[in-house]
């Protein structure tokens, strides 16, 4: 398998320093002490990212060089777009970091106006496309109005901006997951078959991942839509030799919660992601658990929550939260495992395993991108597009387990569709 070239632009080690004169004599100094500082990190063609900026009061304080506040992942086409001349008022693309005090919005009916302290700009240059690790900036720099303009020292921002090569494998399902499609690896315009995906549905027999649960099944997808539960869905991933190398199956049925007609957070559906047990031929080893439910609102979303399981699986309770993602039910979206982008509410750093099969050392290591999966919304032909960080894939079997996870994410969009309250009479008589 040949990877595609990607680079990771990381911004970290953020800190804000104000002089004593600034603290005593300006609004910015008072505001910096009384409310949190935040920054907006902007790069042309990418969504704006926001991060907090800690206030550094001690001159002796040192900042953690491993702390990453924001990351951008760029492929070859992104670099070409950034290096092309822009419009007349912005001829060169820049990484721009704008620092503010205060928050947007209001409090108790009183509007709060953010105050801009200053801006850091770094122009995109040819070194961005060389594919080598480069530290673009590291240290303190003055932002805002300087001493020559105001007669007083201005605020200073500390940051570390680094480029790292981050190659990825890119895969795509060639059809809807329920149609048991082939999975190909994409390399430019070349498509290379790597896996096949086999979907089946068993609505009668219990499912056991560590026994022979792959029984013969009948495709009852049309009738199943009318039922009040969705269960028995199974996906096996086969390599080119026909051997099953990963699988996903529903362990907790997707059923409407009490008082509503959809799968709610109070009773989410769940998938178990498994791979072959090397010590017990014909048996399966649990790898991860994916839960999904529907969040109702102006525009409904599907909430996906993924835990990586320890060697003992669910019984040991040693699972680790790796991802919590909202996906638009109508338009679809992206499920990902990325320790730099995960929800800020996480109580502890989210660990990143070295590979999909690495359960020996799950302590937090250098974070970053692990995988992403783009899926379409309800009623659309999804054809999931999957990207995997090369450093997390040591063999074909590692890639296969992520394909099983991607299939479970895609099928969860359909499994979380609202249930019909009343069955058609013709369907009811057909059972």
CB 223 within 8 A of CB 430: yes
- 267 and 316 both lie in a single domain: yes
The last residue of one of the domains, among 97, 129, 163, is 163
The last residue of one of the domains, among 163, 187, 221, is 163
- 221 and 147 both lie in a single domain: no
DSSP class of 419: P
Q: Which SS3 state, helix, strand or coil, does residue 281 take?
A: coil
- 224 and 373 both lie in a single domain: yes
Separation CA 342–CA 338 (nearest Å): 6
Give the domain range for residue 263: 168-415
Q: Which SS3 state, helix, strand or coil, does residue 20 take?
A: helix
Note the pLDDT tens digit of each residue in 35-51: 678 999 999 989 999 99
Please state the domain count of the chain.
2
- 185 and 98 both lie in a single domain: no
Q: Quick one: the chain helix, strand, coil %, rounded to 5? A: 15, 40, 45
- 272 and 143 both lie in a single domain: no
Residue 19 CA to chain centroid, in angstroms? 39
- 174 and 150 both lie in a single domain: no
Q: Decide if 202 is inside a domain.
A: yes
Q: Decide if 2 is inside a domain.
A: no
Residue 327, sorted as left (phi over 0), alpha (psi -120 to 50) or beta, turns out to be: beta
Separation CA 6–CA 197 (nearest Å): 27
Report the pLDDT value the prediction gives residue 112, as an integer from 0 to 100.
59
CATH number of the domain within which 36 lies: 2.60.40
Report the pLDDT value the prediction gives residue 379, as an integer from 0 to 100.
85
DSSP labels, 348-387: SPPP--SSTT--S--S--S--EEEEEEE--TTS----EEE
Separation CA 395–CA 169 (nearest Å): 12
Report the pLDDT value the prediction gives residue 72, as an integer from 0 to 100.
92
CB 68 within 8 A of CB 11: yes
Separation CA 144–CA 183 (nearest Å): 52
Q: Decide if 81 is inside a domain.
A: yes
Q: Decide if 424 is inside a domain.
A: no
Report the pLDDT value the prediction gives residue 367, as an integer from 0 to 100.
63
State the pairing for strand pair 320-328/333-338: unpaired
Report the pLDDT value the prediction gives residue 67, as an integer from 0 to 100.
84
CB 428 within 8 A of CB 275: no
* Tokens linked to 231: 């269960």
* Tokens linked to 14: 């953020």
CB 16 within 8 A of CB 156: yes
- 16 and 148 both lie in a single domain: yes
Q: Decide if 356 is inside a domain.
A: yes
- 318 and 388 both lie in a single domain: yes
- 115 and 204 both lie in a single domain: no
For 95, what's the count of Cα atoms within 13 Å in the CB-facing half-sphere? Answer: 20
User: Residue 37: how many CB atoms within 10 A of its CB?
Assistant: 26
- 94 and 179 both lie in a single domain: no
Place of tokens 């609505």: 203
Q: Decide if 430 is inside a domain.
A: no
**Dihedral, CA of residue 368, residue 288, residue 343 and residue 136, to nearest 10:** 0
Q: Decide if 427 is inside a domain.
A: no
Separation CA 272–CA 248 (nearest Å): 6
The last residue of one of the domains, among 115, 142, 163, is 163
Q: Decide if 409 is inside a domain.
A: yes
- 77 and 200 both lie in a single domain: no
Q: Which residues of the chain have pLDDT under 70?
A: 19-35, 86-91, 102-113, 145-153, 203-227, 311-318, 342-367, 421-431
- 155 and 174 both lie in a single domain: no
């Amino acid at each position: 398998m040949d990877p595609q070239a990607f680079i990771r632009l990381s911004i970290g080690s953020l800190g804000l320093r104000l002089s004593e004169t600034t603290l005593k004599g300006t609004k910015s100094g008072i505001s910096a002490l009384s409310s949190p500082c935040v920054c907006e990190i902007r790069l042309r063609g990418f969504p704006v990212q926001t991060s907090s900026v800690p206030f550094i009061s001690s001159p002796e304080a040192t900042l953690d060089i491993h702390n990453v506040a924001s990351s951008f992942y760029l492929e070859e086409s992104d670099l070409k777009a950034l290096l092309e001349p822009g419009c007349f008022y912005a001829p060169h693309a820049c990484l721009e970091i704008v620092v503010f005090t205060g928050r947007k919005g209001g409090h108790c009916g009183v509007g709060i106006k953010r105050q801009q302290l200053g801006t850091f700009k770094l122009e995109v240059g040819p070194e961005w496309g060389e594919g080598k690790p480069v530290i673009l900036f590291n240290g303190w720099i003055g932002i805002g109005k300087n001493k020559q303009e105001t007669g007083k020292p201005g605020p200073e921002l500390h940051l570390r901006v680094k480029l790292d090569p981050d190659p990825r494998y890119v895969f795509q399902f060639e059809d809807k997951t329920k149609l048991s499609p082939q999975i190909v690896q994409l390399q430019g315009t070349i498509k290379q078959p790597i896996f096949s995906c086999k979907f089946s549905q068993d609505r009668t027999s219990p499912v056991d991942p560590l026994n022979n649960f792959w029984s013969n099944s009948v495709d009852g997808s049309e009738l199943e839509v009318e039922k009040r539960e969705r269960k028995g869905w199974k996906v096996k991933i086969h390599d080119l030799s026909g051997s099953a190398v990963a699988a996903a199956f529903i362990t907790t049925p997707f059923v409407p919660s009490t008082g509503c007609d959809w799968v709610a957070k109070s009773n989410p559906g769940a998938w178990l992601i498994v791979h072959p047990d090397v010590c017990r031929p014909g048996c399966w080893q649990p790898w991860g658990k994916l839960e999904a439910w529907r969040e109702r609102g102006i525009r409904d979303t599907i909430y996906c929550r993924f835990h990586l399981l320890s060697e003992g699986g669910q019984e040991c309770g040693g699972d680790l939260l790796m991802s919590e993602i909202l996906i638009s039910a109508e338009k679809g979206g992206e499920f990902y495992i990325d320790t730099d982008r995960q929800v800020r509410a996480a109580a502890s750093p989210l660990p990143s395993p070295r590979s999909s099969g690495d359960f020996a050392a799950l302590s937090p290591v250098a974070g970053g991108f692990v995988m992403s999966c783009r899926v379409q919304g309800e009623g659309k032909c999804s054809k999931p597009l999957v990207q995997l960080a090369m450093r997390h894939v040591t063999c074909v079997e590692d890639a296969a387990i992520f394909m099983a996870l991607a299939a479970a994410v895609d099928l969860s969009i359909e499994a979380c569709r609202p249930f019909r309250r009343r069955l058609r009479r013709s369907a009811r008589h057909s059972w």
